[in-house]
Structure 1
Amino acid sequence: MTRSRLPVVAGVDGSAPSTDAALWAAREADLRGIPLRLLLVNDDPGRAEQAAKALAEAASACREQVPGVQLAEETTQGHPIDELVRRSAMAELLVVGSRGHGGFVEALLGSVSASVAMHGACPVVVVRGHGTTGPVVVGVDNSRGSRTALDFAFEAASRCRTDLVAVQALPDAYFHPGPFPHPDRDELRADAERHLAEQLSGWASTYPDVPVRRIATNEHPVAALREAAADARLLVVGHRGRGGFTGLLLGSVAAGALHHAPCPVAVIRSTNP
């Protein structure tokens, strides 16, 4: 099987968020023209019957709402995080719900979804909210990670025939004159917007069908992305961008987006170290 024909893999566990994730994955697989594999990883052999029922119900919902999708169902024994991460190396896209069974009610993000987003070998989408309409929003910071995210975001916007909103959140100092001679605020903002436009130019020419809106702001990156994604179908962030510590497995912006975004979040790992 070639890379382009690898499936979309969705982890399910019988919870409502995992069903939402399965339905999102079914629509995405149908758009991409590739198979969908629903995977339930059961860590309790005594619940085999319950696991089979949960998987069948998720599959039935997908077939009902996305009748054209090519769908396979699988249950396997093991630790959900370990198995989903392992399967990510054999998937074009891995999709999970924001929270599954066993999570604390007050938690914003479940341990499985957070860990899979950290360690997944392919793009990982954590589904929260519905995100079925609106633009694709992407965070930009001129890092290798954000360039990989831009590639994914433009392709997603083109496939969905929707707009792309590119957000670059810069430090406050970028927009405020300091103690030394400095351009005025309008010129600083113009420079920031020009810098953002330059980062987008290559992709904009490759995807002329995608209308692009640019936002350069001095807000905190997570707040800026959350605001821009209020009506988005998808928020795309790099796995790690500028300003992160080398030892961190998941950048602070990606982690913040996963916890606070109002729509599905795609975390894209750079193909190069």
Structure 2
Amino acid sequence: MVAPDKPVAAGVDGSEGSGRAALWAAAEAARRGAGLRLVIVNDDPVRADHAEQAVHEIATKCRAHAPDVEVTAEVVTGRPVEELLRLSGAAQLVVLGARGRGGFTQALLGGVSTGVATQASCPVVVVRRDVPETAGPVVVGVDDSACSREALRFAYAAAARLGADLVALEAWHEEGLLAVPLAPPDRDRVQHEVEQSLAKQTAPLRERYPAVRTREVVQRGHAVSALTDAARDARLLVVGHRGSGGFDSLFLGSVAAGVLHHAPCPVAVVRGAG
């Protein structure tokens, strides 16, 4: 999944939130042994000088934060989503702030972050303005879909780089809005089936990353609530872009947008292979 010759890219806009995201990206680039590419997308020629100043100020902070990382900075003219998606094709990871509040508020989040996170060619991490200082785990949502399997691999690699534990969480509930709750024996049966499925999914990665302590959690309930709650003290929450596994009620694709808005920690959205 990771291409060592490609940089970590960060879309910035001069706001405090995007600056913190850029620093997170610089630290991640250092962990990956990669370069860092900072980009402001400017759609107003009048702001060209301001954009150049803003991106170079952020670059200076990133170089101080991660002195071993090669940092490049540039201003790109165009539409934010289109340019950031194009940027994702030449990056191993794109990092965005959760909400832009600077002179280029259209360059980043709100709708732009969600659009980029769900369409990018590489994984996307969305960093909230108030990144918590925590030694918590990496949490990953699992549902046995192709995207979920990619997310699980991404999460294990991230946990190994961070020296963090990993929590693999699979949530389930009765299918359909009008579904009748399962009787206790059936509920126990489904719970056991999901626990077995989760253990099967994590087994090869446990073997590949023996230093990463893994905790498997199977929970009856809505995935957004379960993941948001599990990520309260997390260093990173990882979800797949779209879920289509054997448990139809999991639909991680719709979950991605939910956790992007509600999770208290950085969120990585990972697309399936191909």
- What TM-score results when the alignment is normalised by the length of structure 1? 0.88
- Pair 184,41 (structure 1): closer, same or farther in 2 beyond 3 Å: closer
Residue 155 of structure 1 corresponds to which residue in structure 2? 157
Aligned to 1:41, the other structure's residue is in SS state: strand
Matches within 5 A, 1:76-95: 76-95=76-95
Matches within 5 A, 1:5-154: 5-101=5-101, 110-128=110-128, 129-133=130-134, 134-154=136-156
CA distance in 1, matches of 2:186, 2:123: 41
Gapped regions of structure 1 (runs ≥ 5): 244-249
CA distance in 2, matches of 1:211, 1:41: 40
The answer to whether the aligner puts 1:234 opposite 2:269 as a matched pair is no
Residue 248 of structure 2 corresponds to which residue in structure 1? none
Report which stretch shifted further, 250-259 or 120-129. Answer: 250-259
Aligned to 2:4, the other structure's residue is in SS state: helix
CA distance in 1, matches of 2:199, 2:157: 18
Q: Which of 229, 252, 255 lines up with 1:253 in the alignment? A: 255
Contact 2:21 2:127 (8 Å CA) reproduced: yes
Write out per-residue CA displacement over residues 118-144 of structure 1, whole angstroms, 9 at most, x where no aligned residue.
211110111113155311100000111
How far 1:188 moved relative to its partner? 4.8
Residue 215 of structure 2 corresponds to which residue in structure 1? 213
Letter of the structure 2 residue corresponding to residue 95 of structure 1: V
Letter of the structure 2 residue corresponding to residue 266 of structure 1: A
Letter of the structure 1 residue corresponding to residue 131 of structure 2: H
CA distance in 2, matches of 1:135, 1:155: 13
CA distance in 2, matches of 1:34, 1:122: 15
CA distance in 2, matches of 1:185, 1:55: 54
Count of residues in correspondence between the two structures: 258
CA distance in 2, matches of 1:39, 1:183: 55
Write out per-residue CA displacement over residues 166-205 of structure 1, whole angstroms, 9 at most, x where no aligned residue.
110011479x653xxx747556534432321111111111
Gapped regions of structure 2 (runs ≥ 5): 246-251
Write out per-residue CA displacement over residues 196-243 of structure 1, whole angstroms, 9 at most, x where no aligned residue.
111111111111110001110012000000000001111000010028
Residue 265 of structure 1 corresponds to which residue in structure 2? 267
CA distance in 2, matches of 1:189, 1:270: 26
How far 1:115 moved relative to its partner? 1.2
CA distance in 1, matches of 2:208, 2:61: 36
How far 1:56 moved relative to its partner? 1.6
Letter of the structure 1 residue corresponding to residue 15 of structure 2: S
Contact 1:131 1:234 (8 Å CA) reproduced: no
Contact 1:225 1:257 (8 Å CA) reproduced: yes
CA distance in 2, matches of 1:172, 1:229: 23
Contact 2:13 2:105 (8 Å CA) reproduced: no
Letter of the structure 2 residue corresponding to residue 264 of structure 1: P
Aligned to 1:231, the other structure's residue is in SS state: coil
The answer to whether the aligner puts 1:189 opposite 2:168 as a matched pair is no
How far 1:266 moved relative to its partner? 0.5
CA distance in 2, matches of 1:251, 1:188: 22
Aligned to 1:201, the other structure's residue is in SS state: helix
- What TM-score results when the alignment is normalised by the length of structure 2? 0.87
